[in-house]
Amino acid sequence: MTAKQPSGDPGPTTGLPGDGATPEAGSHVVVVGGGITGLAAAWYLIRTHPHVGVTVLEASPTLGGKLGVSDVAGIAVDEGAESFVASRPEALQLAREVGLETELVVPEVFHASVYSRGRPRPMPRGQFMGIPTDLRALAASELMSAPGLLRVPLDRTLPATELADDVSVGALVAARVGREVVDRMVEPLLGGVYAGRADELSMAATMPALFREMRHERSLLTATRRIAGGGMQAAGARRGIPFRGIVGGVGRVPGAMAAALVGSGVQIRTRTTARVLRRVASGWEIEVGPASAPELLHADAVIVATPAAPAARLIADAAPAAAMELSEIETASVALVTLAFRAEDVTAPLPGSGLLVPPVEGRMVKAITYLDQKWGWLGEAAQREGVRMLRLSLGRHGEPEVLARSDEELVALARLDLALLLGIRGIPVDSRVSRWGGALPQYAVGHRRRVERIMLGLRDVPTLALAGATYEGVGVAACVGTAYEAASRVSRGLALQPVASRSAGRIGT
């Protein structure tokens, strides 16, 4: 199906998992949240059950959540995620289904450096989330000090580390291969993905395959080599880089999805905040609009695709135990500063796709992406405009003050770190600051058990489901996966009970 498909004909269901459920015609599902997760949930429903009515509610003026594009120096550049993994199928297939297959691209370069001990140094080959597997490559990178380097191979002689139900990434890696690996390699990579800290993030949730391997393998180096050899490193070697972008930005996906959804009869309402969710005899009531003049919507099933805090407030009455667990999940706020410089003002060599900056270096910036080198389409646009495009990421868990700064302050801080880290001292011809408050859920130690308890708390409400980055992964593909699971859950729930009210699907009844 493409965005041009005629209304009322959702097309084949190729690429979507079946749920074996057949909700009654006239059933109405309300999806709360119009980010990529909520849109994907609506997509699943309308593609697999075209006779079901679907309404999407989004509090902000625009759809897409953390995915979007806006102009910098006359060039459309992503404001949030700029790529997604192709090693799991959901996001890649979704882009194809909404008519963007010919726009899918791989990065031109995909190898970052790490700023360590005074200068950028290449991230050694063979590493997996910062854990080394090739000690010669690690030594050649000069990323670590001599004592730190000598500490790494002791992993092979140390007794096995006893693992409980979970452990922090920092604690396990430091115990096996030394603290310097955590500080110089693991921290910058985890900071880029989760905006979190290695000593707080769950190994079971952030590196589940490696954690399982360590349950029966003494050496972390051996376990990591086994995982890396069968995972994304190998996938990249065999089939190319295991990430994809989209010409014009990944932020184009929500717009393409919205057009296809509306063309298939889905109602999408922006600037519409769901304030109260009630379970009633006829299904669900959702109170939207201002408290002084509320509007009531009816639904037979509800999917909540919002961050943890608003989701907890919304389901507090229907699933109090799940809401309590949700309210305990912390988040990190980040800011992305995109800068365009005149090409002649960027004379420093910029190898690879970007630079990671460990917290131990004491800088505000945690990562710099060389956008015009990483993406061919963006490089061509930048060359036409005579500019170089850099994006800097600021903010980690426990640093809420980052977003308290003005745009001008954030641009000044970004420029200061650019000068210190890369020697770039020119004045930008354009800039953009994208703020993502509470954007990244923190997968603290015990996160997977917490998610299990949250889902257990929904056991008695089969027509209510949760989806999003809070649960099983923060990437685009993971969010789409949770959307499909949530939509399948409520489809099964609807199939087990008759439609309670024929007002279903009628807004305002």
SS3 content of the chain, % helix, strand, coil (to 5): 40, 20, 40
Residue 173 in domain = yes
- Within 300-330, strands assigned E span 301-304
pLDDT of residue 291: 82
Residue 91 in domain = no
CA distance 257 to 254: 5
Asked if residue 223 and residue 258 are part of one domain, the reply reads no
Which residue among 398, 418, 441 closes a domain?
441
Asked if residue 423 and residue 353 are part of one domain, the reply reads yes
Residue type, position 242, single letter: P
Residue 285 in domain = yes
Question: Which residues in the chain come in under a pLDDT of 50?
Answer: 1-14, 231-239, 500-509
Asked if residue 452 and residue 307 are part of one domain, the reply reads yes
Q: How many domains does the chain have?
A: 3
Residue 233 in domain = yes
Residue 179 in domain = yes
pLDDT of residue 15: 59
Here the CATH number for the domain that contains residue 360 is 3.90.660.20
Residue type, position 67, single letter: L
Asked if residue 305 and residue 285 are part of one domain, the reply reads yes
Which residue among 189, 222, 239 closes a domain?
239
pLDDT of residue 499: 54
Here the CATH number for the domain that contains residue 200 is 1.10.3110.10
Residue 83 in domain = no
pLDDT in tens, 201-230: 999 999 999 999 999 999 999 999 998 875
Question: Is residue 272 a contact partner of residue 58, using CB atoms and an 8 Å limit?
Answer: yes
Residue 75 in domain = no
Which residue among 239, 266, 289 closes a domain?
239
CA distance 366 to 317: 40
Residue 73 in domain = no
Asked if residue 465 and residue 376 are part of one domain, the reply reads no
Asked if residue 364 and residue 394 are part of one domain, the reply reads yes
Asked if residue 384 and residue 429 are part of one domain, the reply reads yes
Asked if residue 323 and residue 352 are part of one domain, the reply reads no
Asked if residue 128 and residue 57 are part of one domain, the reply reads no
CA distance 175 to 3: 52
Here the CATH number for the domain that contains residue 487 is 3.50.50.60
Asked if residue 158 and residue 51 are part of one domain, the reply reads no
Question: Is residue 325 a contact partner of residue 315, using CB atoms and an 8 Å limit?
Answer: no
CA distance 41 to 34: 10
Neighbours of 215 (CB within 10 A): 8
pLDDT of residue 16: 72
pLDDT of residue 184: 96
Least Cα distance to 487 among 12, 51, 43, 27 occurs for 43
Q: How far apart are the first and last CA of the chain?
A: 32
pLDDT of residue 498: 61
pLDDT of residue 172: 97
Q: Which residues, other chains included, contact 356 with Cβ-Cβ below 8 Å and sequence gap of 6+?
A: 112, 113, 114, 115, 123, 188, 189, 191, 192, 366, 367
**Cα separations in angstroms, 486 against 301, 416, 473:** 11, 45, 14
Helices (H), 161-274: 169-177, 179-181, 187-194, 203-206, 208-214, 220-230, 232-239, 252-263
**Cα separations in angstroms, 87 against 57, 93, 227, 299, 475:** 31, 11, 14, 35, 12
Q: By residue range, what is the domain housing residue 356?
A: 331-441
Asked if residue 267 and residue 199 are part of one domain, the reply reads no
pLDDT of residue 267: 97
Asked if residue 401 and residue 355 are part of one domain, the reply reads yes
